[in-house]
RNA sequence: GGACUCAUAGCUCAAUUGGAUAGAGCACCGGCCUACGGAGCCGGGGGUUGGAGGUUCGAGUCCUCCUGAGUCCGCCA
């Protein structure tokens, strides 16, 4: 259930009843910051003080009285300047947890009532180039958001808007004819394409003839010349293999791969439309939208002197044009209600402009830029995408290093007798822990701020890091293994009760899960789920230290097994929602 | 020149979007292995939230100014 939503409704009605108002008012329910204030507080009395001309505490008193006698609430009391503190009834909380324990499909989290069709546009690498660290955040943040929204019940379409139609293909076509090696292309496609691209781009810089040939080939490609089209398709196809390998490692998938090329034919029409409607005009040979001349543009854009260009003076189109065509397609063909663009903060101006154009075109769609900060090195400067010897640090090699570092720590742990991993499981555990550590280090932070990439912190495996959460899960699994019990069977039969303080603390954390997932979905902030799971793992570890499970007497034993099962499932589900896996032994 | 983002403990980050005495991890100090896994648990010190005004019952959060950092802005994506 959604606890906060339920309490908000209780509180709103209590306010209306207690103060004799015709309609419910916002209860402004919030979790308390300190357990001594109870579990939740109603802040809604204070804003009413002015309107009703009474001191807030005098308003809070009858509200608290109106809440007594409700099953969920053990007691409600006035505190501070006019807060109403709510203490939940442990018995009621325990019943809700038992309900959640029975609900194996959704762990007690309801699905949304109004389903939206949401496009999540993320990752978006360029074809013919290696994915590097710069692609990491979009890929894993986008994946997490898509997972969260699908779990909540939205109709999510994951679209990889790959860069497969740029000027680089003219150079690649002439380059491959000159220096291409088909065997090398088959063996390691992107490596070969990059090698040739470098040669071609260098020669184009020095030789105008060569550069002209590249432009001619590009023009032929864009005019659907069969031979060039065939070559281009070949490049795209072999590149896909390398991309798929990285996505498989990250456990990331897509429903659509509609790259720039998919919209190529729509672009002239877009520009005609913009010109016809008087939104754009020609200037210095290019077709532009001038915000200073657009009355209903957002204020900050109107001060922008530089225009939004949709066609270059040489007649070629730009990514701005493609992006407009993409929104049109998503609206007209996919019937999407929303589109989320998981793209670096640095492109915020571009999206602000794009969204403003779509409003001028009367496209009724919720468009949102889900920005994120830069990945920094330990020195606080943007992480270098090249190593000391000048080679590109690819995403694939970074993930390899994560797995390797995890494997080392696991082997140390086994050698010291601290960890229990079967020899044949080491590879899989290193993968889950290593990749999970990289993802968690990123996702646990507010996506808007820059974040510091630090191997030592990530793989230190202490405190708030991915392995801590996975370890808590392994502890749960280990209890069932040791007891010779099936988690699912316990989930069917156990009744949860909350007696010991550590049980109550754990129980109250468990009950907040649904609220957290909803908020993470509504604000596109996966870190809220990470934070919750971390706090849950802490509460579970406290319970684990305090409360024996297998050695307890019935009915406490069954209840504690139920708490353990629900904790395990919530950790697994929560981590799963941000794309991180778990293992039973680590 | 214009626009946007940011500034919180020694370091890395939170703060449920305006709620009570600003919380975690790392690092530092001190406890806990005859209880299901010590990658763990319990406790301690550490803050004028960059500065100055303002808005109101109430500000890390909103507004103005200042200081400092970053990013983007005509034919790349």
Residue A131 CB coordination number (10 Å): 24
Query: What is the nearest nucleotide to A86, using C1' and CA?
Result: B20
Q: Distance between CA atoms of A185 and A175, rounded to whole angstroms? A: 13
For residue A326, the SS3 value is: helix
Phi, psi of A121, rounded to the nearest 5 degrees: -100, 110
CA distances from A176 to A190, A218, A221 (A): 13, 13, 14
Closest by alpha carbon to A457, among A466, A448, A449?
Answer: A466
Average pLDDT over residues A505-519: 96
For residue A586, the SS3 value is: coil
Please report, rounded to whole angstroms, the spatial distance between the CA atom of protein residue A535 and the C1' atom of nucleotide B32. Answer: 22
Average pLDDT along chain A? 93
B35 C1': nearest CA residue:
A548
User: For residue A5, what pLDDT is reported?
Assistant: 94
Average pLDDT over residues A163-179: 89
Closest by alpha carbon to A34, among A82, A92, A83?
Answer: A83
Residue A167 pLDDT greater than 90, yes or no: no
Q: Output the six-digit token pair for A464.
A: 């708030």
For A21, residues 6+ apart whose C-beta sits below 8 A from its C-beta are A15
Residue A246 pLDDT greater than 90, yes or no: yes
Mean pLDDT lowest among A336-340, A374-378, A422-426:
A374-378
Query: What is the nearest nucleotide to A305, using C1' and CA?
Result: B2
Residue A505 pLDDT greater than 80, yes or no: yes
The DSSP letter of residue A120 is E
Average pLDDT over residues A354-378: 94
pLDDT band at A380, cuts 50/70/90?
Answer: confident
Query: What is the nearest nucleotide to A77, using C1' and CA?
Result: B20
Nucleotides on chain B within 7 angstroms of protein Cβ? 1-7, 12-17, 19-27, 35-42, 56-58, 70-77
Q: Over the stretch A304-323, which tens digit does the pLDDT of each residue have?
A: 889 999 999 989 899 999 99
Answer for A26: CB within 7 Å of strand B. Answer: no
Q: Over the stretch A66-120, which tens digit does the pLDDT of each residue have?
A: 999 999 999 999 998 899 999 999 999 999 999 999 999 999 999 999 999 999 9
Closest by alpha carbon to A74, among A62, A64, A65, A86?
Answer: A86
Q: Over the stretch A29-47, which tens digit does the pLDDT of each residue have?
A: 999 988 889 999 999 999 9
Closest by alpha carbon to A502, among A440, A559, A555, A439?
Answer: A559
Q: Distance between CA atoms of A242 and A395, rounded to whole angstroms? A: 11
For residue A427, the SS3 value is: helix
Please report, rounded to whole angstroms, the spatial distance between the CA atom of protein residue A433 and the C1' atom of nucleotide B40. Answer: 18
Rounded to 10°, the helix A168-179/A208-222 angle is: 110
Percent of chain A at pLDDT > 90 equals 75
Answer for A519: CB within 7 Å of strand B. Answer: yes
User: For residue A390, what pLDDT is reported?
Assistant: 65
Query: What is the nearest nucleotide to A4, using C1' and CA?
Result: B16
Residues in a beta bridge with A375: A451
Please report the domains of chain A, with CATH numbers, ordered by start residue.
3-88 (3.30.1360.70), 166-258 (no CATH), 395-577 (1.10.730.10)
A 417-436: CB within 7 Å of strand B: 418-420, 433
User: For residue A223, what pLDDT is reported?
Assistant: 86
A294: left (phi over 0), alpha (psi -120 to 50) or beta: beta
User: For residue A244, what pLDDT is reported?
Assistant: 95
Here the ipTM equals: 0.95
Q: Distance between CA atoms of A438 and A466, rounded to whole angstroms? A: 8
Q: Distance between CA atoms of A527 and A140, rounded to whole angstroms? A: 12
pLDDT band at A168, cuts 50/70/90?
Answer: confident
Instruction: Tally the residues of chain A.
Output: 586
Alpha helices for A251-368 (secondary structure H): 267-276, 299-302, 319-332, 348-360
Q: Over the stretch A436-465, which tens digit does the pLDDT of each residue have?
A: 999 999 999 999 988 889 888 887 778 999
Q: Over the stretch A249-307, which tens digit does the pLDDT of each residue have?
A: 999 999 999 999 999 999 999 999 999 999 999 999 999 999 999 988 888 898 888 99
For A413, residues 6+ apart whose C-beta sits below 8 A from its C-beta are A419, A421
User: For residue A291, what pLDDT is reported?
Assistant: 94
Average pLDDT over residues A335-355: 96
User: For residue A489, what pLDDT is reported?
Assistant: 96
Please report, rounded to whole angstroms, the spatial distance between the CA atom of protein residue A33 and the C1' atom of nucleotide B44. Answer: 21
Please report, rounded to whole angstroms, the spatial distance between the CA atom of protein residue A451 and the C1' atom of nucleotide B49. Answer: 20
Q: Over the stretch A385-395, which tens digit does the pLDDT of each residue have?
A: 776 666 678 89
Selected residue with higher pLDDT from A577 and A213:
A577
pLDDT band at A405, cuts 50/70/90?
Answer: very high
User: For residue A187, what pLDDT is reported?
Assistant: 86
pLDDT band at A342, cuts 50/70/90?
Answer: very high
pLDDT band at A506, cuts 50/70/90?
Answer: very high
Please report, rounded to whole angstroms, the spatial distance between the CA atom of protein residue A251 and the C1' atom of nucleotide B35. Answer: 39
Q: Distance between CA atoms of A8 and A171, rounded to whole angstroms? A: 61
User: For residue A288, what pLDDT is reported?
Assistant: 96
A 32-61: CB within 7 Å of strand B: 32-34, 37-38, 41, 43, 46-47, 49-50, 56
């Amino acid at each position: 259930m959604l606890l906060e939503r339920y309490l908000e409704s209780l509180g709103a009605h209590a306010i209306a009843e207690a103060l004799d108002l015709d309609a419910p008012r916002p209860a402004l329910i919030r979790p308390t910051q300190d357990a001594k204030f109870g579990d939740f507080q109603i802040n809604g009395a204070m804003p009413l003080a002015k309107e009703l001309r009474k001191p807030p505490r005098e308003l809070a008193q009858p509200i608290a009285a109106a809440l007594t006698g409700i099953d969920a609430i053990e007691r409600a009391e006035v505190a501070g300047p006019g807060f109403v503190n709510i203490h939940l009834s442990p018995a009621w909380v325990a019943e809700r947890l038992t309900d959640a324990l029975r609900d194996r499909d959704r762990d007690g989290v309801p699905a949304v009532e109004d389903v939206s069709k949401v496009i999540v546009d993320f990752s978006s690498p360029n074809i013919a180039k290696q994915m590097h660290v710069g692609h990491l955040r979009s890929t894993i943040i986008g994946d997490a958001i898509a997972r969260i929204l699908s779990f909540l019940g939205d109709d999510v379409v994951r679209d990889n808007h790959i860069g497969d139609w740029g000027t680089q293909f003219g150079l690649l076509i002439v380059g491959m004819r000159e220096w291409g090696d088909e065997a090398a292309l088959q063996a390691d496609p992107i490596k070969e394409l990059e090698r040739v691209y470098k040669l071609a781009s260098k020669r184009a810089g020095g030789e105008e003839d060569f550069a002209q040939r590249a432009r001619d080939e590009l023009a032929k490609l864009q005019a659907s010349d069969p031979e060039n089209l065939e070559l281009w398709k070949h490049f795209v196809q072999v590149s896909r293999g390398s991309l798929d390998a990285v996505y498989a490692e990250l456990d990331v998938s897509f429903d659509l791969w509609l790259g720039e090329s998919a919209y190529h034919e729509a672009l002239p029409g877009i520009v005609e439309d913009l010109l016809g409607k008087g939104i754009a005009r020609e200037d210095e040979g290019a077709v532009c939208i001038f915000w200073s001349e657009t009355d209903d543009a957002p204020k900050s854009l109107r001060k922008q002197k530089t225009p939004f260009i949709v066609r270059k003076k040489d007649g070629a189109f730009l990514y701005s044009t493609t992006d407009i065509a993409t929104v049109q397609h998503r609206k007209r063909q996919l019937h999407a209600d929303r589109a989320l663009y998981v793209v670096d903060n640095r492109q915020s101006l571009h999206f602000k402009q794009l969204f403003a154009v779509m409003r001028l075109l009367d496209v009724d769609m919720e468009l949102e830029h889900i920005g994120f900060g830069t990945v920094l090195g330990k020195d606080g400067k943007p992480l270098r995408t090249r190593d000391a010897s000048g080679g590109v640090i690819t995403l694939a090699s970074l993930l390899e290093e994560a797995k390797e570092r995890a494997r080392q720590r696991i082997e140390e742990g086994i050698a010291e007798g601290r960890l229990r991993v079967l020899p044949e499981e080491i590879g899989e555990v290193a993968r889950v822990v290593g990749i999970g550590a990289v993802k968690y280090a990123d996702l646990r932070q507010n996506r808007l701020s820059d974040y510091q990439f630090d191997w030592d912190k990530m793989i230190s495996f202490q405190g708030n890091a991915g392995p801590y959460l996975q370890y808590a899960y392994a502890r749960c699994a280990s209890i069932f293994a040791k007891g010779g019990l099936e988690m699912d069977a316990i989930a069917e039969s156990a009744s949860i009760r909350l007696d010991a303080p550590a049980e109550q603390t754990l129980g109250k954390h468990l009950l907040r899960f649904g609220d957290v997932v909803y908020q993470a979905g509504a604000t596109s902030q996966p870190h809220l789920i990470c934070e919750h799971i971390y706090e849950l793992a802490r509460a579970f570890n406290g319970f684990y230290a305090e409360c024996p499970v297998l050695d307890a007497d019935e009915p406490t034993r069954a209840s504690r097994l139920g708490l353990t099962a629900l904790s395990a499932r919530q950790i697994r589900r929560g981590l799963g929602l941000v794309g991180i896996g778990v293992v039973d032994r680590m």
